[in-house]
Amino acid sequence: MTVSYQYEVASSTSGGFTRLLFMWRGSLYKLIYRELLLYLILFGTMSALYRHVFTISQKKEFEKVVLYCDILIKSIPLSFVLGFYVSYVAQRWWKQYKAIPWPDKVMHLVALYITGNDEYSRMLRRSLMRYLNLSLILVLRSISSAVKRRFPTLEHVVDSGFMTTLELELYQSVPSVEFNTYWIPCTWFINLLKEARMNHRLPDAQGLKIIMEEFNEFRTKCGLLWSYDWVSIPLVYTQVVTLVTYSFFAVALIGRQHIDGVEKEFQLMIDKYLPIFTILQFFFFMGLLKVAEQLINPFGDDDEDFELNWMIDRHIKVSYLGVDTLMNRCPPLVKDIYYDSENLNLPYTEAAAAYKKKTYRGSVANMTVPEEKQMMFLPDILEEEEEEGGKGNTPRTSTASLSNLNESPVIEKRQISGSPSTTRKMARNCSETVVQLDGQEQPAEGEQRRVLVEAVKKFSSLAKGPTSRPELKKSFFPVLTKSSRPVMRPWPSTTSISRHAQPSAFTPTIVETDPWANDSSQNSPNSAEDPEEQQPSVSSQGETSQEGVANTAFSSDKLKNIPDDRDDTVERHSSEPGPTYQCTVGWKPTTSAKIRRLSN
C-alpha cells in the first residue's frame, strides 16, 4: 500500500516537508542507496588510479578524456526525456488505481431490490456478491504477484471459500487456451439474477435494469485492469529513458574527476574524492528513474504498490454484511433531538471551537449604496446596434431636419438627411430648398417640432384658400400609365418623395424654387389682386388618395398672378445615369402642364 503522510502535512508549518525527509519506508534513500553507494565506490577508485597508479603520459591522456566528457555531458537531454517519462508514468499509475472495481454500488442495489428474509433469498444475495468478487479475484490473480502468491492455484481459491468444488469443475471445463476466463463468474451472476426475476424475488423491472448497469461497469473495470497489464508502455521508450540516465552518470563518472595541472570549469579541491554536486544530481535524476520503476507496475510488492490483498478481504466482508447481516439490524424510527427546532445551534468541542467561522455572504455583501443614488429610472442610452447603425452612410428616411440656411434671408430651406456629397441642381437660377438624407446634425427636438408645425399650418392655409383660375380645379397629380416610372409619395412631414426599388441607386433631393422669379416684369396687372383669392390649393399631408402617384406634373408655361413665395419645385437628381424628374408643388398647374424628362 502507498505510504500515507497526509497527517504530517495537514497544516503548513515551519519544517512541514522537512519532517518527511527523515522517513525511510517509501523514501528516496531506500530506492537509490545501493546505486549511490556503488557509484561513489567507482568514482573514488577512478580518482585513486589517476593519482597513484597512472604514469605521466597516462595522466595526460586521462586529463584529455576528462575535459572531453565534461564538455559533452551537457549535450545529453536527460531532464527533458526523464521528466516527460515520469509524468506519463505517474498519470498511468493513478488511472490504474481508478480502474480497480468496488462492489459497493451493486451491493446496495441487490439489498434493495432482491426482497425476502428466508434462506433462499439470503443465499441468492450472498451468491450474487460472491460471484462478483470472484471475478475480481481471478483478474487480480493473473496480473498481481502479491495476489498470485496468496492464491497460487485455483484450489487455494476453493479452500478460501470464494468458490465451490462444483463451480471449479465448471470453470475448468471451459476451454481457456486462447483467452483468459476470469469473466465466467459474471455469467453465473447473470443467470442467477435471471432466476431471481423468474421466481419473483426481483419484482421490479427497473431494479433489474439498474443492477445490470452497475454490474456492467464492474465488469468493464475488470477488463480494463487486465488490459493495463497486457498493454504496457512501449519498451523502446523505457529503454531510451534508462539508457539516457545511465549514460549521463557514466560520462559524469569520468568528466567530474578532479585533475591536476589543467584548469577546469567549476573545479574545487573538495571534489577530489567526493563530488558534491554530482551526488545531488544522482539523487535527483536517479531518484526520478526509480520513481518511474515503482509506478510503472503498481500491482507488485513495492512500497508504493496497491494493497490488493487487503482490498479482496475488504470487499468480501463488506459485501456479505451489506446484503445479509445488516439488512435486519436497522434501528427504530425515532425523532431526532432537533425535530422541533428551526434555528439549530450545533455543539463544538473546546478543541474545535476555533473552526467555527461566520458564513461567507459574498464579497459585496456589506457594500452600501447612497440613498440619493437608489432612485430607479430608465436611462436614455442607445443600444450598441443603434449606435453602430447611426455611424453608417445608409439613408435614414424616418428622420427629417428642417433648418434655415444663410443663402437667402427670405426663402425657407428644408433639408432631409442624405449623402453629405449630395449635388445641388439649380432650377432656372432660382433659390432652392435641399433635403439631404445623411450626415448632418439634427436640430433640437423642440426647434424641429416648431418648424414642422409652422410648415404644416402654412401649407394647410394655402390648401383651403379660394382660387379664381378654373385651371387650378384640375387634378394636381396626373396618374402615370407606365409602371416603370418612379413613384413619388408624400413625405411624413409635409412633402415626401419615394419610389419603387430601381436597379440603380440615386440620391433624392427636394427643391423648392420660384421658377419665374426672374420674369416678374412680365406679370399681368392682375397680380395686385387680393392675395387670398390667388392662393393656390395644396394637397395636404393626410390625403391618402395621392399615394402611388408621381409628382411629375411640370408646366413650361408661366403662371400669372401667382406670388413668388408660394411656389414649390420638386427635383430629383441621380448620381448615376438615369432620368431626372422635376415638379412644381404648392399650386395646381394649368391645362397645358406636361411631363418633361431631363437628362443629367
pLDDT for the residue numbered 163: 94
Give whole-number Cα distances, 297 to 4, 104, 576, in Å.
Answer: 19, 26, 83
Q: What share of the chain is helix, strand, coil (3-state, %, to 5)?
A: 50, 5, 50
Is 441 a residue whose pLDDT tops 80? Answer: no
Give whole-number Cα distances, 526 to 326, 537, 554, 558, in Å.
Answer: 123, 18, 23, 14
Determine the structural domain holding residue 138 and report its residue range: 102-230
Query: How much is the average pLDDT of 64-70?
Result: 88
3-class DSSP assignment, residue 571:
strand
Which of 62-76, 99-113, 187-201 has the weakest average pLDDT? 62-76
Whether 410 and 429 have beta carbons less than 8 Å apart is answered as: no
Phi-psi region of 216 (alpha: psi -120 to 50; beta: other; left: phi over 0): alpha
Assess if residue 184 is contained within a domain: yes
Assess if residue 153 is contained within a domain: yes
pLDDT for the residue numbered 301: 85
Tally of domains within the chain: 1
Is 438 a residue whose pLDDT tops 50? Answer: no
Cell of 182: 476470469
pLDDT for the residue numbered 409: 42
Mean confidence (pLDDT) of the chain: 74
- Tell me: the pLDDT tens digits for 80-106? 899 999 999 999 999 999 999 999 999
Assess if residue 146 is contained within a domain: yes
User: For the whole prediction, is pTM greater than 0.85?
Assistant: no
- Tell me: the pLDDT tens digits for 489-528? 544 444 444 444 444 444 444 444 444 444 444 444 343 3
SS3 sequence of 206-273: HHHHHHHHHHHHHHHHHHHHHHHHHCCCCHHHHHHHHHHHHHHHHHHHHHCCCCCCCCCCCCCHHHHC
- Which are the contacts of 16, defined by CB distance < 8 A and separation ≥ 6? 8, 9
What is the DSSP secondary-structure string of 30-41?
HHHHHHHHHHHH
What is the DSSP secondary-structure string of 112-147?
HHS---SHHHHHHHHHHHHHHHHHHHHHHHHH-HHH
DSSP 554: B
- 204 vs 446, more confident: 204
* Alpha carbon distance 90, 95 (integer Å): 9
- Tell me: the pLDDT tens digits for 118-174? 999 999 999 999 999 999 999 999 999 999 999 999 999 999 999 999 999 999 999
Assess if residue 180 is contained within a domain: yes
* Alpha carbon distance 342, 338 (integer Å): 8
Assess if residue 55 is contained within a domain: no
Helices 184-198 and 205-230 sit at what angle, rounded to 10 degrees?
Answer: 180
Which of 303-312, 440-449, 475-484 has the weakest average pLDDT? 475-484
Query: How much is the average pLDDT of 529-551?
Result: 41
- Tell me: the pLDDT tens digits for 276-291? 888 999 999 999 999 9
pLDDT for the residue numbered 286: 92
pLDDT for the residue numbered 207: 94
Assess if residue 123 is contained within a domain: yes
Assess if residue 178 is contained within a domain: yes
- Tell me: the pLDDT tens digits for 504-515? 444 444 444 444
pLDDT for the residue numbered 464: 55
Assess if residue 190 is contained within a domain: yes
Query: How much is the average pLDDT of 372-390?
Result: 72
Residue 485 identity: R
Is 433 a residue whose pLDDT tops 60? Answer: no
* Alpha carbon distance 66, 43 (integer Å): 13
* Alpha carbon distance 20, 15 (integer Å): 9
